Structure 1
Amino acid sequence: MTDPRGILVSAPASGTGKTTVMLGLLRALADDGVKVQPYKSGPDYIDPAFHLAACGRASFNIDSWAMGPELLSAIAAQATGADICVAEGSMGLYDGVATRGQSGFGSSAETAQRMGWPVVLVVDVSGQAQSAAATALGFRQYNPDLPFAGVILNRVASPRHERLARLGMDRAGLPVLGVLPRRGDLALPERHLGLIQAVEHPDLNAAIAGYAEFLRAHVDLGAIREAARGVPLPATPATLPPPPAQRIALARDAAFSFTYPHLIEGWRAAGAEILPFSPLADEAPDPSADLVWLPGGYPELHAGKIAAAETYRAGLCKHAETRPVHGECGGYMALGEALIDKDGTRHAMAGLLGLVTSYEKRKFHLGYRRAVLRSALPGHAPGAALRGHEFHYSTILDQPDAALADVADADGNAVTETGSFRGHVTGTFFHLITAEEPAA
């Protein structure tokens, strides 16, 4: 498609059911033979795997705070060949940061406006009827320039409840694209970072098929397709971020899986070889790799198994003697000296860095990060400015190594999680999204 026509599924707040609506919509459209390109607005690294499972096409993040115009263009170009784009918002429609970043404030509304995708607002009408229209109308009028398709009423209790809620929407002039009856079995399992990972769901395909059947029965799919709009792509779209090495050993299992799809796709598109290995299966990284990369995930849930994986640890340490190793968040913790789980048990990690982290007393870390490197990180020279996102509950007990970067939050306030380095080994608590574009 020359212009990525689509819609963005959002809501007034988290917990309103937009993820199940998103997954059901993706599967229902795909079952109809529609080529759907999924997206996630914001810095989420769990939802895209669910999107892929729902429609069979890789999902990409669109982030108006972290990404400059060139990267946004390159990610929009991933819709080439699709019939429609369907994006999932984060949190509430207008929720973002306080300070303008590289491109904007990072809200789902910005994504919809930038891409020209009309908003489908999922409104939880439980506990109210006509009053729900006042909420929806406020979201519609808060930014009159925002493209708006209509609303889906969720958790409707009865035909009478539906009639009253529709009366309110009619009075507000808001199209009703669907009405979803209240059902208690439409919630996805969650843990402290949000949803469980797609690979952990006991029967994800059956769950998504159920969502699709539910959406098909209660949502006007034709009206949603008809509402899709978009803005033209540049004639020559930019490329995705280049790889940090030619042969990259990438940890991939239930403990290490949080990677942004646009990075992996960019690495592959540039000809890099991705060599997956599983620390949980006690697999060593490929000895011919130029770089070992440990992404984030849930190492705290598997700390005992990681600590006992001798083949993995020996191969990782051997690689680090001569070639770079990098870890993000959970991967960073796994490169450290020790990880203490929620029960207070201390587990020895790789020991390539002196970092000691603990989940015994949880401390919440969440937000965008801007990092200016003091030392090199694979693919980036000292002085480079990087954009990323941090989300974890661990507490640092010891970090004796040199700081890797000067790190600040979205408002420019310094944060203490600077990352660290020792020899060929680097680690950060933020998940890298991209380097800042020169024009920024």
Structure 2
Amino acid sequence: MSAITIDGLSSSLYALYLRLFKNEAISKTEPFVFRDCLANQKISEFIADSKGHEPNVWVPNLFSGSEKTDCFEFEPVQRMLSEEEKNLCVEAASRCIRNGTCIYGPEIDELTTHLQDFLGSQHVILTSSGTAALTIALLALDVKPDDEVILPANSFAATENAILAVGARPVLADVCEQSHNLDPESVESLVTSRTRVILPVDLYGGLAGMDDLKQITQKHSVALIEDACQAIGVSGVGTSAEFATLSFNTFKNFSGCGKAGALITNNAELAKKARMIAYHGFTPNHKMHKKLPMGFNALIDNLQAAVLLARLPYLAIINFRRMFLAMRYNRSFQKLENKAMLTLPKPGPNNGWHLYTILLKTEDSRNDLISFLDSQGVPSKIVYPCLSHQQDNALRQTLFKNVHLPVTEDLQSRKLALPLFNGMTISEQDQVIKGVHDFLGLSQDFM
């Protein structure tokens, strides 16, 4: 049997998942090979502790620290970190406060090095937020007022706001029915002489069709920025784009204790320029000496970096837990999809499972399911309930007046996100699964 090299990225985690699920027990002689990476530490310990055991042992090991509470919410903020992680974060923050290194300190460089190693990226620039990272990326690529940037409408407002912040014009493209990510054909139909950047979003942690989008950017000599704020640890992030951006806010798979983000790139010149923009336009390593006309105060604080560094050993196992829960949803709902009662997200190696969404047949059935689940004490959520071109603001009557995105609009009217969060338990997931089956009137074939 060939070895599985676990590098903490989604493709290797997916291979690990398939091997574990197929064989059920974790063999004592299973040839798992772990890359020496801080982000792999806890998943390495999980495999070591679970060798030779059946699922009734290794599944509880996987969810160690995820204890059910009375707070079953869609994203319970108090449960996004385990008690063990909270204690580590408190210790890290306390050291910074006592040492006076809350703004500047060694943890920034240390975290940068470990993230570069984990992500396979030559340059990581830690920022104050994912939004700041997106804005800096646009400016580093010389996006100017009235330039056009093509993006999807089914994203968080930060994607659009970063474009507006630099004076550029957001142009909304439709998405693919299968992936819910940018449709390359729709994108190419919108390219004009004013197009400067294509900005896909790795929606819900699923990698956008970057190869096809890269071909379009090369054909039309425009840049590619990847909004990967929901997709840390997904294989392929940042490999096709001039920049990719990450977010570490509370509700992301991997977060600190506040807001933070990152820019990743393999282009040394772009990295140098982005660092200057991120810190007041100063020449690198020469504070107070401005090289650029303007810049921001948008670098990460050392206190936040210290907290993220303390949590980094948990990154791969957090993503693996989420993958396990997502695949468990899929297995549990497979009969429902076979009977065309709903549509499931497609499994694969390039998804970090930031969110798990299903599609109902109609908007009414989606809304009825929400009400039914709520009556059963089961949370759910319509993510991005109002698309960019449907917001009640001035842009609706100017930039977006004639925008019609049939696939995006149809998907959004029927889509529902089910709970999937860092501290979720198997028993809580069982409640969700039972609620969906009860609503659709079909007995469940439980795994």
Question: With CA pairs under 8 Å and 6+ residues apart, which has the higher RCO, 1 or 2?
Answer: 2
TM-score normalised by length of structure 2: 0.27
**TM-score normalised by length of structure 1:** 0.27
Higher helix share: 2
Query: Which one has the bigger strand percentage?
Result: 1
